[in-house]
Amino acid sequence: MSATTSLAEVARRDLPGLEDSIVGRGDQSYDEARAVHNGMIDRHPAVIVRCSSAEDVARTIAFARAHDALIAVRGGGHNGGGLGIVDDGVVIDLAGIAEAVVDPDSDSVRVGGGCTWGEVDRATAEYGRATPSGIISTTGVGGLTLGGGLGHLTRRFGLTIDSLLGADVVLADGSQVHASADEHPELFWALRGGGGNFGVVTSFVFRTHPVGAAVMAGPTFWPIEQTPEVMRFYREFLPSAPRGVNGFLALMTVPPVDLFPEELHLRKVCAVMWCVVGSEDEATRLLAPVHGVGTPLLHGVAPVPHPALQSLFDGLYTKGLQCYWRADFVNELSDELIEHHREWGQKLPSMHSTVHLYPIDGAAHDVAAGDTAFSYRDAQWAEVIFGVDPDPANADALRDWCVGYWDATHPYSAGGAYVNFMMDEGQERVRATYRDNYDRLTRVKAQYDPDNVFRVNQNIQPAAAA
């Protein structure tokens, strides 16, 4: 490559057949192609290659390695720290590998590595089934799954990785393998929580579960001042509720949308967003105790088709918003910790900003800490403090609130955090998150990616270098 030849031009020359799938600086679509979900991330890769097959991925890896370029792998582009994109490097964009095909005979779905959850939800809903994922349909299957995956169906059916049956992976040396319980079992273990450290997953196979035509879902809102009362109820109620009941707690502002009565618009509330896999009668009976807590402003639980539930917040958390993230795993909601939530929840810095506590008990606790790379199987909640606003001028205020909130609540945490809710917080934090699984992960990394080719992620360093 000469001083005047860009890496994108070289890629067009060296990757015949992919010329039209390559985007570089100066190309008309460059800004659109490099934009990720988080508007705070503004990175300028040298080349973006829109791959359509495992073969394209293998060739792009070889090309990047030949030019000593960093590789970022982009699934849905949702990662808070912008790990699907990298300055001056090569981005393997998987958006072109996005099929979701259900196999009704084996109750499974085969999903392309660049799919978003909406595509999967729509395909599985045809059969009244679902694979547990998150709470937003535009999130990528790739990043969410490889980090663990928690959402509305966690208590009933476990983490997303608990439904993973196998994955097709392109390794750092370009070879293609299938990882499952029987083939490359160590790789399969590491993929379930270890992030994009081990290769590029071009296809996932998930088990699907029965959810029927609709789940019973919707929020209960209370005045934000009643946060302590609600959280004290929540910490007792949910862990002892049947697994069919899921509810994540949110301190939030009611968005001004038709879904909610006008008098609640822009009011700060303490909320629980319920999802009950069961009939209307069951949901009414199981959630009856909720009505005895404080003075609810709204209890809006109703039958909702699963794909509609998954898309409910899509319009609120659109691409390009400024987003700042902080997170922790939490075992216990002590009165002291609740007091900090009360104080910081009232200081939400913008309409979109929120704090969520996602339950990770129920079926997620059936799997032992060492059975998958995701180590915090004993944690009760995954907390995320999410500062969000459309206006870049508010970026500092979002960050200050998140960091202040986290500083106040982190001393009560279990130690690590869910990797998918972290930004770039350094190696020690990654290690804390994998706890006893970390050393084993470094050995799998040394076997499958000894040169740490895949390091634009929450990085696990190969054993020899760790």
Ligand X SMILES: Cc1cc2nc3c(=O)[nH]c(=O)nc-3n(C[C@H](O)[C@H](O)[C@H](O)COP(=O)(O)OP(=O)(O)OC[C@H]3O[C@@H](n4cnc5c(N)ncnc54)[C@H](O)[C@@H]3O)c2cc1C
Binding site for ligand X (CB under 6 A): 37, 73-80, 83-84, 94, 113, 134-136, 139-140, 142-144, 146-147, 149-151, 195-196, 200-201, 317, 420, 457
The smaller minimum CB distance to ligand X, of residues 82 and 296, is found at 82
Minimum CB separation of residue 260 from ligand X in Å reads 19
Q: Minimal distance in Å, beta carbon 169 to ligand X? A: 8
Of the pair 227, 310, the CB lying nearest ligand X is at 310
Q: How far is the CB of 198 from ligand X (least distance, A)?
A: 8
- Give min distance, CB of 335 to ligand X, in A: 28
* Residue 217 tokens, joined: 């879902």
> Hey, what are 45's tokens?
């890769």
Of 296 and 416, nearer to ligand X (C-beta) is 416
Sign of CA dihedral 39, 31, 319, 358: negative
Specify the residue, 37 or 155, whose C-beta has the smaller distance to ligand X: 37
Indicate the Cα dihedral angle 318, 324, 330, 336, nearest 10°.
-120
Minimum distance from CB of 248 to ligand X (Å)?
8
The distance of closest approach from Cβ of residue 415 to ligand X in the complex, given in angstroms and rounded to an integer, is 19
CB closer to ligand X out of 113 and 118: 113
How far apart are the C-alpha atoms of 200 and 58, rounded to whole Å? 9
CA atoms of 390 and 319, how far apart (whole Å): 10
Least distance between ligand X and beta carbon 137 (Å): 10
Note the Cα 23 to chain centre separation in Å. 26
Nearer to ligand X (CB atom), residue 293 or residue 398: 398
Q: How distant is the alpha carbon of residue 129 from its chain centre?
A: 21
**Residue number, 420 or 442, with CB nearest to ligand X:** 420
Q: How many CB atoms lie within 10 A of CB 239?
A: 14
CB of 309 to ligand X, least distance (A): 12
Least Cβ distance, residue 312 to ligand X (angstroms)? 12
CB of 48 to ligand X, least distance (A): 12
Bridge partners of 246? 275
Q: How far is the CB of 282 from ligand X (least distance, A)?
A: 24
Q: Least separation, in Å, of the C-beta of 323 and ligand X?
A: 6
Please say which residue, 226 or 372, places its beta carbon nearer to ligand X. 372
- Residue 194 or 278 having the CB closest to ligand X: 194
Contact yes or no for 128/116 (Cβ under 8 A)? no
Q: Are 355 and 251 in contact (CB under 8 A)?
A: yes
445/440 Cα distance (integer angstroms): 9
Residue type (1 letter), 178: H
Confirm if 7 and 90 have CB atoms less than 8 A apart. yes
**Which of 63, 248 has the CB closer to ligand X?**
248
Return the residue matching tokens 């499974």. 108
